[in-house]
Amino acid sequence: MSLTTKDVDKIAWLARLAIDQSHVTAYTRDLSGILDFVEQMNAVSTAHVTPMAHPTDQPQRLRPDIVTEFDQRQLFQACAPLVDAGLYLVPKVLE
Amino acid sequence: MHNKTIAELAAGLRDKEFSSRELTTHFLARIGQYNPALNCFITVTEELALQQAEAADARIAAGKAGPLTGVPIVQKDIFCTKGVRTSCGSKMLDNFIAPYDATVVERLGRAGTVMLGKANMDEFAMGSSNETSFYGIVRNPWDTNAVPGGSSGGSAAAIAARLTPGATGTDTGGSIRQPAAFCGITGLKPTYGLVSRYGMIAFASSLDQGGPMARSAEDCALLLQEMAGFDEKDSTSVKRTVPDYRAGLNERLAGLRIGLPEEFFDEALDSEIARTIEAAIAEYEKLGAEVKKISLANMRLSVPVYYVVAPAECSSNLARYDGVRFGYRCQNPKDVHDLFMRSRGEGFGAEVKRRILIGTYVLSAGYYDAYYLQAQKIRRLISEDFKQAFEQVDVILGPTAPSVAFGFGEKTSDPIAMYLSDIYTIGVNLAGLPAMSIPVGFSSNRPVGMQLIGNYFKEAQLLNIAHRYQQVTDWHRRVPANFM
């Protein structure tokens, strides 16, 4: 499976990850190599195998519907890069 | 003092041979002396350590001490520590002061341990050599031209150099066992769900598991005792009684059935390592164990499966780093997309980016079935292989890694060569089984690690098997020449 630099640009956009243009060729080579390597999986017939998402095969644990977390906005926003009046600041989304 | 095991230090504290403050000061002095050359630590928490040591001494004086009260340890910098920087080895979290403690940190704190600092690691635990850390490489105390392994490389090197008697690590594909092997120490990756993942920064959530690293199996038992157990705050934590891990350490091994998977002794294995492992097997036969050849037929696919499953989970988990709520934020973003893209692009290193990109790709429309679903199906086959093996044997034994510690830069230009250094450890994570690495000798003056894989929740048995070996050998007591 060989990727093109255009594919890598598209994946990087989906991942919201800026890639330095001078590195795109290297990423394209590395990612193609990794995909070639994982192709080995195709040699195995798995038509009747149940996928395993998780090692414990346990159902999700339920808990009573009660409030266990309390407002700690100030504490949690103390490590935010930019806040004002309790709000996280980001560049304007709508013009 | 620094050559004593945790068990010996705990006894010394109890018998008032030395105080926790004296012990802590001693280790802090060693860190000051040796860490500049090794770079095992991202943060040394000297002031906090001395406070905790004084509190421990007060507890010991009041007769309220537990088995680990006053013992210094190191936390891998993947565990959140309230009020202390928790960087995960990344520029992304260089400025992140955790607002809460991970459950593992809280439990070890409650037990009265003293935290000396936060250990260096591969960025977001993605690496097998500690070369992806934003904070620089860690050197292997046995040979400073060699890597310490990864991702828990700082923890392993600090233990080997006697800068701490024990540490925490995490293991997603071998990140406790492989550095333990490379640095000649003992490490345990518990069954998935035994140790809480709450506050342990997520990489691949269905594989990540925290565990103890120390110099002996007995010390790992002591640490695991405090770390293990159900936690309401981790939705995958397993509710079951934690056994007394120390109680069974001396059980006899007569009749123990050891399985040797042919796939672990293949052409990828260095011949000197093979000979070293065979010598260890002979010790087990002397202890009364029976050895049997087994097969884990799908094991050769564990690395390809892992490099679909782990990046897929990583790409979802690392989506949270967006430059908005915490962590790195780029300068002067021109719009919100630029904010996300540049904060992530500038905050993450190359290996983390590779894995996010692979993960995004294998989960994207049109490729999910071919990659992610197929990987999950083969994951089942790998897990079934183990299940069948454990119908014939009690424990599986083999090398931890195909080579001893390699040199800096040897594998950094070829991601797949690096991934293959975890070829014997990754299957265990896919199945969720417990496994250990213990030192069994040297090859070219670098330590060789042997892996023991147990059935689900058989940590006590693994520790027993490792401990008995350590009673009749002294590899785990060897000290690197420059760190006596």
The per-residue pLDDT for range B72-93, each reduced to its tens digit, is 999 999 999 999 999 999 999 9
Mean pLDDT of B394-401: 98
**Which of these is catalytic: B76, B189, B411, B458?**
B76
Decide if B361 and A33 are in contact by the 8 Å CB cutoff: no
pLDDT the model gives residue B384: 97
CA distance B465 to chain A (A): 24
Decide if A51 and B379 are in contact by the 8 Å CB cutoff: yes
Does the active-site annotation cover B196?
no
The count of C-alpha atoms lying within 13 angstroms of the C-alpha of B293, restricted to the half-sphere facing its C-beta, is 5
Q: Are B258 and B290 in contact (CB under 8 A)?
A: yes
pLDDT the model gives residue A94: 79
Tokens (6 digits) for B47: 């002031």
Closest residue, chain B, to A82 (C-alpha): B324
Helices within B255-299 (DSSP H only): 271-286
d(CA B4, CA A1): 53
Beta strands in chain A (DSSP E): 83-84, 87-88
* Mean pLDDT score across all residues of chain B: 97
Torsion of CA B349, B351, B357, B360, to 10 degrees: -100
Question: Which of B307, B24, B76, B313 lies closest to B195, judged by CA?
Answer: B76
pLDDT the model gives residue A1: 63
d(CA B5, CA B356): 40
CA distance A21 to chain B (A): 11
Q: Is the pLDDT of residue A59 over 90?
A: no
pLDDT the model gives residue B217: 98
Decide if A55 and B432 are in contact by the 8 Å CB cutoff: yes
pLDDT the model gives residue A2: 86
Whole-angstrom CA distances from B293 to B14, B276, B289, B395 are: 46, 18, 13, 12
Question: Which of B284, B290, B291 lies closest to B472, judged by CA?
Answer: B284
Q: Quick one: how far is CA B58 from the chain centroid?
A: 32
The string of pLDDT tens digits covering residues B266-320 is 888 999 999 999 999 999 999 999 999 999 999 999 999 999 999 999 999 999 9
Does the active-site annotation cover B76?
yes
- For B466, the enclosing helix (H) or strand (E) is helix B459-472
Amino acid symbol at B134: F
Nearest to A50 among B207, B336, B380 (CB): B380
Domains observed in chain B? 6-252 (3.90.1300.10)
Question: Confidence class of residue B424 from pLDDT cuts 50, 70 and 90?
Answer: very high
Question: Confidence class of residue B27 from pLDDT cuts 50, 70 and 90?
Answer: very high
Closest residue, chain A, to B193 (C-alpha): A56
- For B75, the enclosing helix (H) or strand (E) is strand B72-76
For A58, list phi and psi in degrees, rounded to 5: -105, 145
d(CA B337, CA A14): 11
Decide if B206 and A61 are in contact by the 8 Å CB cutoff: no
Nearest to B357 among A12, A49, A79 (CB): A12
With tokens 């929740």, the residue in question is B457
Nearest to B192 among A39, A41, A55 (CB): A55
